[in-house]
Structure 1
């Protein structure tokens, strides 16, 4: 068993107690690194939480962070004040108030060394002397995923891949990964067709598995799967920190303000995701998964998640259809609906219009009753997009002004001339085609159109008039 005080006895860590000295007998089960202002979704009981305090911006920020740790029942918080000029007083006070042991990390000590030493201490506490291979693997604990997988493959003597529940190959050490169509993440390791599959765990809706091309693995493979989970969490935190810089742009798009960097001329797209009832956390995770490999920035406004994506060669032309396929694959892991709309491409000057297009595309998916839907603005008729961008009051006014006499006549006489006019226009003003669609004689159709023209005071054979009436019908 490894206790908090056990970590204080490791001379190379040089940890110092800043709060909770009476609580050092708590058991530590694992280490978790986070820089999220609210880590409540990711932390769990008995963890040693390690942070560089990048989430701390001003006095008062500590309450949300430390409160989340206390609610989860973490063992202790280890914090480095290298970027904040020391540990802020409100962090110390919050830890004392919420009864969380606070350990100060020396400013010159890297998180990689801390992670390695803590994991080794946890292994020793479980009565296992770490092997040299395990020590070498743990030495890369803080490395990016490709480096981590390469080291793991060398120690295991077999190629390794990480697969996502969406069917994406996240990374690997050989060109031929296992087939993703039989991706079935389990709670425990499984063996299939010469591969060992190990769930990486973590607090994500979309599961990842580590696939090793051998049926003979030991605890080292489990260790690698755990380190992959840590690497995923770190990458997620890096993405969240980077997205902060895009917050002004995202809010401008959502609220109709002017977009920053209006001098930028490269094309961009706006992608909007809405998850119900789970909310923006799930939508952001799925959108980040679907946009892997593109240059994008995410931001949350209310219940919606926006992404601004470079529409260069990294943007797949089949992204909407590929995303629908990926979401249908991951649907089994979700307890929510997810609707995504795509707008653009547009330069910075037209980015707000692209955001409106994406928003309307989501509404189209919602009206279809889709549980999982991806709709691109390019696939929606132009007249529908134009009408969708018109304020409700103006639409009602135009409809009443243009179609009012016809609507009133139908209500008084029990006729259906509005529908007749709609079908006539949708049939390219062909009396024969419209009559066939309405199952009436062509002369009857001509009479109805003539009557409608009289009531409206318009010539329904004139093209410009037809456009005006059709747009009013769509409104």
Structure 2
């Protein structure tokens, strides 16, 4: 409540002695004291009542009033029954320290003042609590965060990409987002913008996947009540974020249908006919798959579906004639400072319609695997960077690829398991050096005769002749299938 509200209480009949221009100050509580220096018992914004028992001379008024002003007291109400008046030195001290002073009528007990003010404060707080609960109810019912921010005031909710989720646009959203991502610890004061940033998840999520609150002022100067209020606001924002994340769960079924080439389910989902681009992404360390799903949903332009499939994030984005790979790279580069030693690898397919979305998803997955081999914290590889045989493999049905790989490589895997012969690794290295015995031996730190022996065992176990180009190509493709999406496309970022 405000000081001027005291003048409207008929039982009190308080009179302003000095401080008419300070009556908009807020009262938080009422304290009665007869100590000369009560500062250590005060927390600020109190209405102090005193009978001046502490006063033994004019100098005491300066000591008493200075202690109240230093403690942040809102006003003083006094009366001296012995003098029958308020001493002039007390009035002068209140003027010097800009502390409003009220005269309490002789027939009004301090207990009456306390009772009236406390009752008024309780009513005001009940009204505030009702408003908070009402706005929180409206939030739960889906009206959004703006209603809550209206009550708190001077706050904004943003994503790490700088998009304003709720509240009016702050002066520089991009700069606030950059400060949130790069701050050594949170909360963090941004002096250039005069604002402080707070995480919503408070360490429970990667910064690139979190939202944050930007509030005016330096949080280091805030009273405990305002810090507590911001923490409560963060909890409410987290609830809204979780609600929106849960609403995106059906997207997993859509991307699963695309990956499986299920035309019926795609038609049911409304994807028939329109052209789409498939995007595949994985994280290295941070962010985790569900967090990366949130990131892609934020940075991709109007994605139709974004879901986690086998620890890899798959997105389907309507083809709009723009360079989706370049846009994704630019958006993710802005988030890179918040990866904290992690990384993001992304693959982008060519344009495809519903009947060919399975091949597009495979193409994006292969491109993602290529991106994961590169050292950059954020790397996006487009479909045209893939070799021709990769595109061919992406279009082959899953069961055919599986049988082709099993028929050629399973005998070698079994032999390696029993004998520890390392035939698969030797074969792959030998093909990489175009069948050079010497170079293969050097790479594997073996004698040339050992390499010859192992390759002969490969031929004996598979019935293939590695002097023939056709058989070499078959083994090359089978080894590439072993590294492909069928074996775990997200994989943790390894090629």
Structure 1 length-normalised TM:
0.47
